[in-house]
Structures are given as structure tokens and as C-alpha cells.
Amino acid sequence: MNKRVVVTGLGAVTAIGIGKDAFWKNLIKGRSGISKVSLFDTSRFKCHNGGEIKDFEPGEFIPKRAIRFYGRASQFAIAATKLALSDARLTLSELHGRQASVIIGTTMAESNVLDISCDSFLRNKWKEVTNNLLISIFSPSIPQNIGCFFGVKNTNVLLPNACGAGNFTIGYGFDLIRKGEADVVIAGGSEALSRVAYQGFNRLYAMSPTVCSPFDKNRKGMLLGEGAGILILESFESARRRKASVYAEILGYGMSCDAHPMTIPKKEGVKQAMEKAIKNSQLSLHEIDYISAHGTGTVANDKTESAAIKELFGTLTKNIPVSSIKSMLGHSMGAASSLEAIACCLALQQGIIPPTINFKTPDPECDIDCVPNKARKTKLTIALNNGFAFGGNNCCTIIKNLS
């Protein structure tokens, strides 16, 4: 259990860029990926915006004859995995020569396929729903499709832990490598915008009619997004043997469950997950240089997360920058905390903290340093990445710069 776990490859498919370089460039510029949703009709909803990926061409990553076999979330996941493997300079032959596993998180799985199926049924065109399309609805289809596409035959798991799922996959992969059950883990999350998800969050009155403005006093709610974030996790020994570049080291993670009503975040549960992540990483509170917030932009989440941070870190809070990239991407649910982990790796490497955009009015109940509107250059060593989900399924990861 003493193997070190490092990140050697990053793959991002997002509304502000495809590939880690485009993603990072636009992230630190504070570019918004929010636009009017065009994937489905939103005219009957009160909200119409989201972090939809407009420029994704699946044929750039998947043979055109095979695209029809994959739902949108699987297409994102395969694309992000391909980008991450290329970034890690890990060839398929090298991948097949190691114990490699696939651990993927999601909230809604292939819910856009459910949209297609319902539309076909309502138009009395049910024969359009092919066997292959129906099979792709099942939750395990996303990691299974990655496994089949890249020929990865070790552990293959889907973690449907909603909006904290990305962090849960990093924790699972961390354990597999530490225990010697895997040399390489393809870890991360994938989510596609769908009408059923959009309708659900509208019905919960959790959506903003305009922009997402985390920690702002006048915040109106979240905005849904989509995409995939994949990290290649390796044992330090494996990375060193193949002379791979290393972005960062995963030091540990912490989990908690609020055991509280599904949609109401609880300060004690959020605090416990952060505290356990720090303790399990054998760190002290003053060693945390940056917190990548869950930061959804809802009144309850931002207030609760801020209170938990202040209670845990006390007087240290004023010196710890806390930013939310959901202000730019929207909330990509199962992909959110894995994309935020990618942002943490790049922030540590580059010494730049991504901003929280759309911030105008400070909130006394969120009196943290949210890095408003403009990226900040600073030396960073250790980041805490927060991921919280409905049902109080909380998971935080600790990521360290090795340079």
C-alpha cells in the first residue's frame, strides 16, 4: 500500500475547449462556455442556457462507421481517453502490456439516448431505436465502451456517484495502484446534456436563467454542462520506467455521506470529507495552497461549502484561494470533479489559479477569497479538489505538484 500514484496524462472535452491545452488556455482567460442549448427544445422551460459543447466532432476520435454504436457520453469519454493516452505518450501496445483498468463516473449515464428513444416512440417511429442504441442506455456502457475501444481488460467499473463521481474514480484508481492491482488507471467522468436532466434541474428550481455566479451574493443557481475529463493514473515506478512526464501526485482522498435530505447539503458532511482527505494524505491544514471548490452557484451549496471551509481552516481561510470553474463550464455533473482535477494539475504545474467569473457582489455568508473574475499567478504546491453530490455523497482529493 505504499506505491506512489502520479498523473501522467490529461484529456478534456469541454464547452471551452477540447484537449487540455485549449481547455487550460480558455480557463485562465476566464472564457465562458455558456450558450443557448441547441441539443433539444428548451422553449417550455424557464431556463435556456447551458455548457453545451458545440464543436465536438466524434469522427475525429472514433471511426465513422462505429459512431452510431455510442451514445454522446461514451463519445466524449472515448475522445477524452484518446487525448489523455496521447498526452501520457502511452501507446496501445504499452497499455496492453501493463495491468490497466478503467474507472468512470457519471450522473445520468447515456440519458440523451433515453431522449432519442422517447422521441422515436412519441413519433411512432420506434423502429429507429436499434438494439445497439438500447444497449447503450445501460449505465455500465461508458466504461465498457472505453474498455472495448482501447482493449483494456483489467478492472472495469462505473461509479454513478452523481456530481462527485469524478473524484470517486480518482480515489478508486488511487487504491488499485497502491494495492498493486493496477499499473495504469484510466479514471474520470463523462456526462452528456439531455432533456431529462435539464428538465429535472429546472423542476428543482436549481437553475439560473442567465449565468452561473458562484459565491456572488445575487447568485441565481447552477447551469448544466457536459463533457468528459480523463486522467491517466500510474504508479510512480511505472512512470519512471518509461520516462513519462508527470503532472502531479495524488496524495489521498476523503469521503463522507451527509445522511441528510437528498438535495440539502450539510456543512458537517462537507467538512468531514475535506478533513479526511487532508488527514489521509498525512498533511496539515496550513499545507493547502488552493481549493478547487464544488461551487455550483446555488444559494445553499455555496453557503454550505464556504461555512465548512471556514470552520475547518479557521484563521487560515483568508490566505487560501478558493475558485469555481463551474462559472465557465456549467455543472457537468459526473464529469465535474474530474475536469476540476485536471484544472488542479495544470494550476499546480503552471502556478496559475483559474478564476471564478461572473462575480460582482460579495456575500457575507461566502466571505472567502474566490479569485474573482481574473486568473492569479502564484506558487502552488498542494491543491484540495472538492466534489459533492446529491444525497451528500462527498469526495475530496489531494493533488501535489512534484516540481
Label residue 139 by pLDDT band (50, 70, 90): low
* Closest to 339 measured CA to CA, from 71, 35, 20: 20
Query: Tell me: the pLDDT tens digits for 323-361?
Result: 999 999 999 999 999 999 999 999 999 999 999 999 999
Which listed residue (331, 345, 370, 396) is catalytic?
331
pLDDT reported for residue 204: 86
CA distances from 309 to 137, 144, 291, 378, 388 (A): 38, 37, 9, 21, 13
In the predicted structure, residue 102 carries a pLDDT above the cut 90:
yes
Give the least confident one: 11-15, 124-128, 189-193.
124-128
When pLDDT is averaged across residues 238-249 and rounded to a whole number, the result is 95
| Res. 285 pLDDT band, cuts 50 70 90 | very high
| Superfamily grouping for domain 5-241 | Thiolase/Chalcone synthase (3.40.47.10)
294 in active site: yes
* Residue type, position 218, single letter: N
What's the pLDDT score for residue 235? 96
pLDDT confidence of residue 172:
98
Where, residue-wise, is CATH 3.40.47.10 in the chain?
5-241, 253-400
- The CB density around residue 55, as the number of other CB atoms within 10 Å, is 8
Give backbone dihedrals phi and psi of 157, rounded to 5 degrees, phi first: -135, 140
Please report the pLDDT score of residue 283 as a whole number.
98
Percent of all residues in the chain with a pLDDT value above 70, rounded to a whole number: 93
Average pLDDT over every residue of 271-282: 98
Is the pLDDT higher at 121 or at 290?
290
Report the SS3 class of residue 370. Answer: coil
pLDDT value at position 367? Answer: 96
* Residues above pLDDT 90, as percent of the chain: 82
Q: For residue 7, count CB atoms less than 10 angstroms from its CB and return exposed for 0-12, middle for 13-18, buried for 19 or more.
A: buried
Active-site hit among 47, 212, 294, 366: 294
Is pLDDT of 111 > 70?
Answer: no
Q: Is the pLDDT of residue 181 over 70?
A: yes
pTM score, two decimals?
Answer: 0.95
Predicted confidence band of residue 112 (pLDDT cuts 50, 70, 90): low
Fill in the DSSP letter of residue 310: H
Decide yes or no: CATH 3.40.47.10 for domain 253-400.
yes
pLDDT for 136: 65
The CA distance from 375 to 381, in Å, is 17
pLDDT digits (tens, 9 = 90+) for 143-163: 999 999 999 999 999 999 989
pLDDT at residue number 137: 65
